[in-house]
Every structure is written in structure tokens, then in C-alpha cells.
């Protein structure tokens, strides 16, 4: 049994405690310190749906995991190197995440008979040998916190609440990270509460000093980590919800169109509404509607009147918006619909992540009602994906569905701050003084009609959900016209593909196994493919942003591989889509546990499906010089 | 500018309601009101849900948006928020507005967003061929209630009072004198204006309002209310309404016998009186006119008041907020090969 943490370029730390213990805050503060120390990072907040679940219960455990280090980090890590557990329930629930040899720091004072019972434990895991495979560091965190904050005269409850900063101080010490950012946060947050401010600062300092002075070198030691070789630009830490809000805001500016963001609260989508409030001066107004139908309705109304309507929800709320989406398709109005997917069906597991709304997005409407669908791959990627969604909506005068998920929304990573001037302006179809054609005259390369809006005396017209004449826009029940309009709506969405960049290979080479994925699995797949490549397997990563339409070269690209593996956090929805659209055989890796993929799971699937070793694949490729051997069923 | 006529607000579309339908008269009253206000067709928007009533926007020469069942108040809210300069009307039916769309109507009214909401109440689902609706009187026979409907009807006006509406009126389809005036008042109101229009569905619920609307019986069955005037009705204005302070209910009095002093003076700013008037049921007369009106800040005033200025700079500032880490000095770009 190793007595020390292995020296590595990156580490995984998991903080766990009651949902009232301030675990998420602790994690966020550690994240900021890591970023400031020059590390790359990826985080996973993992909290219960209950706001303040009863203390000490297993279902009330809140956790925050971060992987940080001096190399590229794309996932929050499969197995924590360090678990900080504030109580028996937090230890018990998180133990299955750990690999033998991990360091467990526990709040010793929390392992009383009563707290053990709360966690449904009959024996004390600290004493019954169940932790023999781990390094256990028992620290009387609660007690030491009370000691540290005694001079400030807080009540018992407020004193105890400082323990998250005490423990943060200790973990910051372990990785030789600065306490400055956390101290600044405390100072700003408790600016008007002197005693609370000073107590938290003292707790932070005391935890740090404890690491420095306690004679615990046999289990607890310092592990400084080198800076990551980051590109020399300015970064910030960002969550997916923040990046999406910024992307939408920037897209509004790039298109010179104001945004009306209409939403009804739902986990995990609400964060987007919160982040978009107060941005009127940047051209964004928010409207909290009475329900999801009203939210999409108001967004459609805004687009009808010449602003860009944006609405957002999670699967159940998107279901409610479905009928209105049909109206936006029929009336040909721009609209962005953001779905922060969560585990379902029904209420499912609101705070847990899943990618199971792809069918809903691509196929889930009455009638032939095609809608472009795209998905973001990571918190930082939300920015560019939001801009892309707005660009498509305005170019083609169509609603667009942007898929993200609970993991992306809440997770954070380092984001190289983009130069907004480097983005192409976003064009729209608003008539100008020079526009000669009428409302229903279409632009050839987008098939978009004119975005004529009230206030314009030249283009007064009426439109609605009733089928309209393809030339005049008037109500039409003509059979041939309905055929023509249905074909037109399909052609319009197909046209989106003309403007897409060629689908690229993220890493690896053709010939062997293509791992094709979408959305938030990017990080895990990236790491798994990277490791498989260095193991000599013939594998490549292809990650899709555009799901409807698919990138036009995708079929050809995949034809250059011997096999395709589709890992996703659902029961096989992209796999179905690829079979449907490309008529190819694909193998599946599916997980619906509410958790992101462990890298190891993806790696194991790659090992199972990679048909050949890298050298072999290269030789074959040279011999056949790219001739397609894939069987097409079509 | 030349005087506008109602014809200036007729679109090029052929009107397709059943011959004799009350919707024709309402259309004409709306066009008359628009003409008399000198409305600008380019700045006027009619948003409707689904139903016979909801077809109206196609027939008016202005912007029109025929949307989905029940959701017109929500969509119109977005239109108004996006462009407060527009004059926005909502056209809905008793099923559209009070059945599937009741929730949106409630919220449009309580927010007091500046919309003119016209609810065509024919006490039936016309477009779907005559099923009973949430305003159908108990006992209404219809394809879905062959033995007579059994559920309690909702009173649109009372619903609006409950929602906190700041303007509530009631009109009659064929009243080409009174209805345009009510519509003009609704248009002038800042905030959500709610107008219930008694509409004759000649095919599925013929003449349910006959006693109120027909010349012969109207004077006994309707009371025209006007702010500051006594609540009088009857062929010779010889009947009035007074408050019975024991039952807290309105009751009829013969003006000659008990004098006029006891008759209530209409106060349109009083929501309690409005509720009583809107709840009047036979043998008492049906209240017609502007029943409730009070001033309150409309919703969108608080909305786009901050016009974006120096927007790009604002966005750049937002991008650079948060926890910044500047690697521009520290790292060499060569070692960044495997980075984004
Ligand atoms: C989602 C949905 N459900 C049901 C319908 C069918 N439908 C159309 S109009 C209508 C009732 C309309 O009644 P009302 O609002 O009173 O209008 P009227 O036709 O009487 O003017 C119904 C049920 C629909 N179009 N959409
Ligand atoms: S069904 Fe009734 S409401 Fe509809 S158009 Fe005919 S008469 Fe009018
Ligand atoms: Mg009706």
C-alpha cells in the first residue's frame, strides 16, 4: 500500500458533504485557485435535487469533483486521488468512486454513533477495516474549525459553517495553491458581516497552517503541480451556462439584433436565465413566462416583431414547446431553443445528466417539421455553438434546437477568451430600402423568406400556422401546394448543410475504428482515444456539432473506417440517427446512470471494437489508397 | 390626411365565416374603430389563436399573426415586448381564451401588458363543430353533451376582475354604434384591455344572446353603463340598480316609485362594483359598456428602457469578467501544441 499520493502531472480531488455544507462553493473556490496557479482543469458538480436534504443522509450528499494539472485536462477524472468527506454518508456514497490507494481525508468528529446511524451504517468504517485499501487521514475538522473561529464570537451554527473554508485551506496547502482568491471572495461576500468574514478568513488560514505544521507527513504531504503549457492568451474559468449566455449575447451583437430570452424555470436550464438577466445594455432582455408554452410563444412573438426570440428549458419543458415549434417552422421565423438535457423520463433525475433528447430534437414533432439541431461539446464550446445556432436561425429563418446538458451547464473549465471581432458578422433577412422582392421571395442559398416585421408599411402581410401558398403566403389548401411547401421546408433545413464546415477528424487516423460522438461526452472520448492511440490502436475521434442536418461529408469520411463506435449517454439515439441517415452499421456504447462516461469505459469499448493495430491500419491504407470497403445497405 | 373608412382596413382576403355569423359584425366594428382612430396599418398587429374567431386577422389590412390554440396572449406579449411602439390586438374565443389558453389570459391580464384582448364569446366551440365550451350555460346540448352540459360556466368578465385586469368591457356583435366605441376605448387604454363580445354562432348556438341583443327585448335585458351616470335601464330608463346592503347584492328598483337617489352611480374605477355588474344574471340585465377602467403602470414600460449603447464594448467587457488568468506572459506557445 503506497503511503503517499503518487507524483503526477494532474490530480483528481472530490469534495463531499451535506448539501448544506457549502461543498459546491468549496469546489468553485478550489477551481479558481487551480486556474490562477496555471493549471488546466475540468469540474463536475454532483448535487442532490433536494435543496437542503436532511443532514447526514446518504441521499443528501453533495459532491464536487475537479481534475486539474499541468497537461490538457478534458474530464473531471474517473477516480479521485483525494476524497474529502465531511461525514459518514459522504464517505460511504463516494467510496465506490475511489481506486485503491486513494487518499481519504475525513472529518473525524463527524463519525459519532448518531451520524453513523443517519448514514445507515452499523459499524464505523474508520475502524472496521473497510478502508484498508486506502490512505486515511483523520482530521478533527469540525473541532479545529471551532477552535479557529472562537475569537470572533459567532454562534455554534455559524462557527460550524466555516469548516468548508478550513478544509479548503488544507487542500490548497496540499497542492501548493494560493489562498488569495478565496480570501478575496470571503471579503467581498461578507463585506457587511465583520464577524462572519473574519471567522471564515481565520478558518481558511487555520486549515492551511494545519497542513504546514501537523506532523502528518506519513499520509498528508504537499504535491505541487507544474503549470499547464497553455497557449499564451487570457483565460477565465467558465461554466457551460455562463458561456452559453455570453455566446447568445455576442451573437445578438454580431447580428445587430436584440434578443428576447423567454424562459420558465427548470433544473438544469434555469442557470441560463439567471446569467442573461441584467444585460439590457448588451442588447438582451429576459422574460420569465408563466410556463414553457408561454415562453416559446413570447419568443416567437418577439421574432415575429423583429427581435430574435430565444427560449430555453429541459426535456419536459421542451416537450411542452413542441406545438409552438411547429408554428415557428410554418411561419418561418428565426428562433433558438436551448435544451439543457437531464435524466428522464418525466421528472427523472433533474440534477443528473443525460443525452436522451436527441430523438426529441430531431424527430419529436407532429407532421413533417424539420428543424436544424446542433449540440455543444463542453462548457467552453457553448460560446461558439450559441453563435452558430443564431447564425443558422437568422440565415434560414428557422427555429434551431441547441442541445446542451446538465453536466455542461454546471461544469467549468478554462476558456481562452475569444476576440469577438474575429467572428464573422451574422447576416439576417430584414428588408432594406434596396430590397425589391416581397415577403415570400426566397434567397437561393438559404431558401429563407424575407424577415418583414410590423412597422414596415411596404410589407404588411398576414401569416400563421395554416398552410400558405408558396408564392403569395395566403391560406392554401391546395394539394400540390402542400407538397411543395413540405418539400421546401425539408430543402431549407437540408440547405443548412451547404454552409457547414467539413466534418474533421479530431485525432487519430482513418482506416480503423471511428469513435463518433456528440455533446458532453467529448472530454471522456478525447482522453480515451488519446490513450488508445498511444497504446497503438487504430482509432480516431470524430465529434459532431451538427446533428441535423449531418455534415455533408460525414458518410464519406466514415466510409474510410473499418468500424464505427458510438458512445453516448442514452440508449442509442445517435446510433439510430446514423443508421437512418447514412445507412451504416455502428456499434454502441451506452450509459444512462446520470453520470458522465468514465474514460475507462470508453477505452474498454475502443479496445473491444478497434479492429486492427495502428501500424496495420496505416499499411492497409497505403495499399488501398483510400478505396472504400464499407458495406452500404442502401 | 383624408378621413379613413372601415374599408381601408379590409384585406384582400375573402371572408369565410358562415353567412349570418356574428363575427361579420364584429369585423366591421373593429374596422370602424380602427378607421375612427386613424390607426396606422403598418403599426397595428392582430394576433389570434385558433377558432372561428381567430380567423379575423386574415381579414384586416394590417399585420396579422394567426397562431396556435390558446397561446395568442403569450405570443402577443412577445410582440409587444419586442416592439412597444406597436398597437397589438389579441383575438380569441371562449374556448381559445378560457379553456386551453386560460392560463395565458390570466397572466396577460395580471401583468397588465398593453394589449387589446377581444374575446368572442359564442358559448360554444364553433370551429370544431359545436361542442359545449367553458362558457356554455348548464344544460347546453351539443355533440359532446347530448343530454345537456353539466359543468359550471366561467364568466369571462369576473375572471378578468379576478386576474386584476385594469380595463374590462362587454359589447354585442351587432351593436354597430356601441361596439366601435368600446373598441376605441380599449385601444386608448394603457395596459391590458379585456373586451368580452357576445357573439352569435348562428350554426351551433343560435340566438343564445337574443334577449340581450334583439331590439325588442334589449332595453329590459341590458344595462348600458357609463362612468358617473346612474345605472338605469328599461324602455323608458325607468328601472335602476341599487345595492342591497343586507345581501351585498345588486337589485332592481322602479325609478318612479322609490326615487332615483337609491340608484347606484357607475364608478368604473371600482373593481368590486365591476364584479357585481359582470355577475348580473337574469332576471337582472346584462351589463354592456366599459365596466371597469383604472390606470396602472403597464408591464413593458420596465422593459426595453435601457437601449443598448456601445454594445460591442459592453459584450467585450462581459467576456472579460470573472476569474481571469492571463497566460500571455508566462507560457511559450510552442509547448501548447496539444492545447485548444
Ligand atoms: C392544440 C389544439 N387542440 C385542439 C384544437 C381544435 N380546436 C380548434 S378551435 C377549437 C375550439 C375553438 O373554440 P372557440 O375558441 O370558442 O372559438 P370559436 O370557433 O367558437 O370562435 C378547438 C378545440 C386545436 N386546433 N389545437
Ligand atoms: S360555426 Fe358559428 S362561429 Fe363559426 S363561423 Fe359558423 S356561425 Fe360563426
Ligand atoms: Mg366559441
pLDDT by residue (tens digit) across A94-135?
Answer: 999 999 999 999 999 999 999 999 999 999 999 999 999 999
Nearest to A420 among B107, B315, B340 (CB): B315
The answer to the question of residue A1 being in a domain is no
Domain assignment of residue A515, given as a range: 507-624
CA A210/CA A188 separation, integer angstroms = 25
Query: Does residue A533 lie in a domain region?
Result: yes
3-state secondary structure (DSSP) of residue A44: strand
Say yes or no for a CB contact (<8 Å) between A232 and B104: no
Residue nearest ligand 2's atom 5 by CA: B17
In a domain, A428, yes or no: no
How many other C-beta atoms lie within 10 A of the C-beta of residue B258? 12
Contact B340 A416 (CB under 8 A): yes
Question: Is A297 within 8 Å of B335 when comparing Cβ atoms?
Answer: no
pLDDT band at B213 (very low <50, low <70, confident <90, very high): very high
Instruction: Report pLDDT for A619.
Output: 66
Residues A362 and A394 in one domain: yes
Res A348 pLDDT > 50: yes
Residue A461 lies in a domain: no
Based on the domain organization, do A244 and A362 belong to the same domain? yes
Residue A253 falls within a domain, yes or no?
yes
Q: Does residue B272 fall inside a structural domain?
A: no
Percent of chain A topping pLDDT 90: 88
Burial class for A265, CB neighbours closer than 10 Å (0-12, 13-18, 19+): middle
CB within 8 A of A456, min separation 6: which ones? A431, B42
What is the per-residue pLDDT across B4-15, written as a single tens digit (0 to 9) for each? 999 999 999 999
| Phi and psi angles of residue B154, each rounded to the nearest 5 degrees, phi first | -95, 145
Residue B15 near ligand 2, beta carbon < 6 Å: no
Q: Which residues contact B183 (CB under 8 A, 6 or more apart)?
A: B29, B30, B33, B116, B118, B171, B195
| B193 within domain boundaries | yes
Helix axes A141-149, A194-213, angle to 10 degrees: 130
Residue B252 lies in a domain: no
Same domain, A240 and A205: no
A529, part of any domain: yes
Find the closest chain A residue to B78 by CA distance: A298
The number of folded domains in chain B is 1
List B257's β-bridge partners, or say none: none
CATH code: domain of residue B68: 3.40.50.970
Atom of ligand 1 minimally distant from the CA of B133: 16
Contacts of B188 (CB under 8 A, 6+ apart): B37
Q: Is the pLDDT of residue B338 over 90?
A: no
Q: What is the pLDDT of residues A311-327, one digit of tens each?
A: 999 999 999 999 999 99
Task: Say whether both A611 and A540 belong to one domain.
Answer: yes
Question: Is residue B251 included in any domain, yes or no?
Answer: no
Residues A56-101 pLDDT 10s: 999 999 999 999 999 999 999 999 999 999 999 999 999 999 999 9
What are the residues whose beta carbons fall under 8 Å from the beta carbon of B151, sequence distance 6 or more? B134, B138
Domain-ending residue, one of A422, A442, A474: A422
Write out the residue range of the structural domain in which residue B194 sits. 6-208+297-302
Spatial distance between the Cα atoms of B33 and B10, rounded to a whole number of angstroms: 13
Residue A630 maps to a domain = no
Judge if A188 and A289 occupy the same domain.
no
| Distance from residue B69's CA to the centre of ligand 2 (Å) | 17
- A396 and A515 together in one domain: no
The answer to whether the complex's ipTM is over 0.90 is yes
The total of structural domains in chain A comes to 3
What is the distance in A from the centroid of ligand 1 to the CA of B50? 5
Residue-wise pLDDT for A360-394, tens only, equals 999 999 999 999 999 999 999 999 999 999 999 99
For residue A554, what is the domain's CATH number?
Answer: 3.40.50.920
B285: Cβ below 6 Å to ligand 2? no
Tell me what the mean pLDDT of segment B144-172 comes to.
98
Residues B179 and B171: beta-carbon distance below 8 Å: yes
pLDDT bracket for residue A627 (50, 70, 90): very low
Residues A281, A204 share a domain: no
Q: Quick one: A256 and A174 in the same domain? A: no
Residue B97 located in a structural domain: yes
Residue A502 belongs to a domain = no
Q: What pLDDT is stored for residue A596 in this prediction?
A: 93
Predicted pLDDT of residue A300: 98
**Residue of higher predicted confidence among B301 and A158:** A158
Q: Which residue in B45, B316, B336 is closest to A230 by CB distance?
A: B336
Distance from CA of B11 to the nearest CA of A (A): 9
Q: How many angstroms is it from B56 CA to the middle of ligand 1?
A: 14
Q: What is the pLDDT of residue A411?
A: 94
pLDDT in the model for residue A91:
97
pLDDT of residue A593: 94
**Does residue B167 sit within a domain?**
yes
The verdict on residue B59 lying in a domain is yes
Rounded to a whole number, what is the distance in Å from the CA of A323 to chain B's nearest CA? 8
B21 C-beta closer than 6 A to ligand 2: yes
Per the model's pLDDT, the better-predicted residue between A484 and A225 turns out to be: A484
pLDDT band (50, 70, 90) for residue A630:
very low
Say if residue A206 is in the same domain as residue A241: no
Q: Is pLDDT of A224 > 90?
A: no
Please name the residue that has the C-alpha cell 485548444. Answer: B340
pLDDT in tens, B33-79: 999 999 999 999 999 999 999 999 999 999 999 999 999 999 999 99
**Whole-Å CA distances, A520 to A142, A377, A410, A523:** 37, 5, 12, 7
Q: What is the CATH number of the domain that holds A402?
A: 3.40.50.970
Which CATH number does the domain housing residue A46 bear?
A: 3.40.920.10
**According to the model, what pLDDT value does residue A451 have?**
98
Q: Which residues of A touch B61 (CB under 8 A)?
A: 460
Residue B333: pLDDT band with limits 50, 70, 90: very low
- What integer pLDDT is reported at residue A618 of this predicted model? 66
Pocket probe for ligand 1: among B127, B129, B140, B205, the residue whose CB has the most ligand atoms within 8 Å is B127
Give the pLDDT mean for A129-142: 95
B120 C-beta closer than 6 A to ligand 2: no
Amino acid at each position: 500500500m503506497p503511503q503517499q499520493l503518487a507524483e503526477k502531472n494532474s490530480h483528481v480531488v472530490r469534495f463531499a458533504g451535506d448539501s448544506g455544507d457549502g461543498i459546491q462553493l468549496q469546489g468553485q473556490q478550489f477551481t479558481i485557485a487551480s486556474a490562477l496557479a496555471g493549471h488546466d482543469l475540468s469540474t463536475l458538480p454532483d448535487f442532490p435535487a433536494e435543496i437542503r436534504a436532511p443532514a447526514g443522509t446518504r441521499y443528501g450528499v453533495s459532491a464536487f469533483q475537479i481534475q486539474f494539472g499541468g497537461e490538457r485536462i478534458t474530464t473531471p477524472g474517473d477516480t479521485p486521488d483525494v476524497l474529502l468527506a465531511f461525514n459518514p454518508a459522504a464517505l460511504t456514497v463516494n467510496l465506490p468512486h475511489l481506486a485503491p490507494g486513494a487518499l481519504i481525508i475525513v472529518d473525524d468528529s463527524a463519525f459519532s454513533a448518531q451520524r453513523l446511524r443517519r448514514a445507515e451504517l452499523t459499524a464505523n468504517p474508520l475502524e472496521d477495516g473497510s478502508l484498508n485499501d486506502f490512505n486515511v487521514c483523520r482530521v478533527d475538522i469540525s473541532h479545529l474549525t471551532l477552535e479557529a473561529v472562537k475569537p470572533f464570537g459567532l454562534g455554534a451554527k455559524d462557527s460550524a459553517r466555516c469548516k468548508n473554508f478550513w478544509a479548503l485551506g488544507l487542500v490548497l496547502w496540499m497542492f501548493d495553491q494560493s489562498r488569495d482568491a478565496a480570501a478575496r471572495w470571503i471579503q467581498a461576500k461578507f463585506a457587511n458581516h465583520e464577524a462572519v468574514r473574519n471567522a471564515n478568513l481565520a478558518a481558511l488560514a487555520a486549515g492551511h497552517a494545519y497542513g504546514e505544521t501537523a506532523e502528518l507527513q506519513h499520509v498528508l504531504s504537499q504535491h505541487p503541480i507544474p503549470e499547464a503549457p497553455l497557449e499564451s492568451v487570457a483565460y477565465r474559468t467558465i461554466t457551460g451556462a455562463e458561456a452559453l449566455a455570453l455566446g447568445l449575447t455576442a451573437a445578438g451583437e454580431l447580428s445587430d439584433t436584440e434578443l428576447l430570452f423567454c424562459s420558465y424555470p427548470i433544473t438544469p436550464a434555469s442557470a441560463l436565465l439567471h446569467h442573461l438577466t441584467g444585460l439590457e445594455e448588451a442588447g438582451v432582455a429576459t422574460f420569465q413566462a408563466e410556463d414553457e408554452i408561454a415562453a416559446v410563444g413570447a419568443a416567437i412573438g418577439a421574432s415575429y416583431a423583429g427581435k430574435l426570440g430565444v427560449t430555453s428549458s429541459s426535456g419536459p419543458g421542451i416537450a411542452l414547446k413542441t406545438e409552438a415549434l411547429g408554428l415557428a417552422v410554418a411561419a418561418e421565423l428565426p428562433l433558438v431553443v436551448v435544451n439543457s438535457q437531464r435524466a428522464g423520463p418525466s421528472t427523472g433525475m433533474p440534477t443528473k445528466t443525460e443525452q436522451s433528447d436527441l430523438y426529441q430534437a430531431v424527430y419529436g414533432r407532429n407532421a413533417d417539421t424539420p428543424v436544424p439541431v446542433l449540440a455543444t461539446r463542453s462548457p467552453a464550446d457553448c460560446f461558439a455553438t450559441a453563435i452558430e445556432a443564431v447564425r443558422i436561425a437568422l440565415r434560414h429563418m428557422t427555429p434551431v434546437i441547441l442541445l446542451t446538458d446538465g453536466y455542461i451547464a454546471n461544469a467549468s473549465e478554462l476558456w481562452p477568451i475569444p476576440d469577438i471581432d474575429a467572428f464573422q458578422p451574422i447576416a439576417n433577412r430584414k428588408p432594406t430600402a434596396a430590397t425589391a422582392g416581397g415577403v415570400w421571395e426566397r434567397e437561393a442559398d438559404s431558401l429563407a423568406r424575407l424577415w418583414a416585421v410590423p412597422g414596415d408599411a411596404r410589407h404588411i402581410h398576414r401569416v400563421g400556422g395554416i398552410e400558405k401558398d408558396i408564392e403569395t403566403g395566403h391560406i392554401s389548401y391546395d394539394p400540390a401546394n402542400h407538397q411543395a411547401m413540405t418539400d421546401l421546408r425539408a430543402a431549407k433545413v437540408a440547405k443548412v448543410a451547404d454552409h457547414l464546415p467539413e466534418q474533421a477528424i479530431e485525432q487519430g487516423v482513418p482506416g480503423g475504428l471511428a469513435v463518433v460522438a456528440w455533446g458532453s461526452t467529448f472530454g471522456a472520448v478525447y482522453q480515451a482515444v488519446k490513450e488508445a492511440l498511444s497504446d497503438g490502436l487504430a482509432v480516431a475521434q470524430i465529434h459532431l456539432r451538427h446533428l441535423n442536418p449531418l455534415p455533408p461529408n460525414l458518410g464519406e469520411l466514415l466510409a474510410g473506417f473499418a468500424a464505427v463506435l458510438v458512445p453516448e449517454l442514452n440508449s442509442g439515439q445517435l446510433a439510430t440517427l446514423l443508421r437512418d441517415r447514412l445507412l451504416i452499421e455502428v456499434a454502441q456504447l451506452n450509459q444512462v446512470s446520470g453520470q458522465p462516461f468514465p474514460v475507462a469505459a470508453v477505452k474498454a469499448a475502443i479496445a473491444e471494437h478497434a479492429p486492427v493495430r495502428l501500424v496495420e491500419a496505416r499499411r492497409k491504407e497505403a495499399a488501398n489508397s483510400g478505396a472504400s470497403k464499407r458495406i452500404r445497405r442502401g | 390626411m383624408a378621413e379613413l373608412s372601415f374599408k381601408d382596413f379590409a384585406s384582400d382576403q375573402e371572408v369565410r365565416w358562415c353567412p349570418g355569423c356574428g363575427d361579420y359584425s364584429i369585423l366591421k366594428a373593429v374596422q370602424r374603430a380602427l378607421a375612427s382612430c386613424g390607426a396606422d396599418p403598418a403599426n397595428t398587429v392582430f394576433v389570434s389563436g385558433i377558432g372561428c374567431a381567430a380567423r379575423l386577422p386574415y381579414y384586416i389590412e394590417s399585420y396579422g399573426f394567426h397562431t396556435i390554440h390558446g397561446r395568442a396572449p403569450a405570443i402577443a406579449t412577445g410582440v409587444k415586448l419586442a416592439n412597444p411602439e406597436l398597437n397589438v390586438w389579441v383575438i380569441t374565443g371562449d374556448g381559445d381564451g378560457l379553456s386551453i389558453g386560460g392560463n395565458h389570459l390570466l397572466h396577460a391580464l395580471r401583468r397588465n401588458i398593453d394589449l387589446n384582448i377581444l374575446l368572442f364569446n359564442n358559448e360554444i366551440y364553433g370551429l370544431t363543430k359545436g361542442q359545449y365550451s367553458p362558457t356554455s350555460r348548464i344544460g347546453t346540448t351539443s355533440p359532446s353533451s347530448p343530454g345537456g352540459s353539466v359543468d359550471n360556466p366561467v364568466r369571462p368578465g369576473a375572471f378578468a376582475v379576478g386576474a386584476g385586469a385594469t380595463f374590462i368591457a362587454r359589447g354585442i356583435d351587432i351593436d354597430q354604434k356601441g361596439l366601435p366605441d368600446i373598441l376605441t376605448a380599449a385601444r386608448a387604454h394603457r395596459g391590458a384591455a379585456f373586451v368580452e363580445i357576445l357573439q352569435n354562432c348562428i350554426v351551433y348556438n343560435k340566438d343564445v344572446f337574443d334577449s340581450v341583443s334583439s331590439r325588442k327585448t334589449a332595453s329590459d335585458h341590458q344595462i348600458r353603463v357609463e362612468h358617473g351616470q346612474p345605472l338605469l335601464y328599461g324602455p323608458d330608463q325607468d328601472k335602476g340598480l341599487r345595492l342591497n346592503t343586507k345581501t351585498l347584492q345588486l337589485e332592481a328598483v322602479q325609478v318612479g316609485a322609490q326615487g332615483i337617489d337609491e340608484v347606484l352611480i357607475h364608478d368604473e374605477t371600482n373593481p368590486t362594483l365591476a364584479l357585481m355588474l359582470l355577475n348580473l344574471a337574469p332576471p337582472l340585465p346584462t351589463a354592456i359598456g366599459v365596466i371597469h377602467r383604472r390606470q396602472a403602470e403597464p408591464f413593458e414600460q420596465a422593459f426595453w428602457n435601457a437601449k443598448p449603447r456601445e454594445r460591442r464594448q459592453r459584450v467585450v467587457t462581459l467576456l472579460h469578467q470573472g476569474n481571469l488568468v492571463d497566460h500571455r506572459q508566462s507560457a511559450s506557445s510552442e509547448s501548447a501544441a496539444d492545447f485548444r
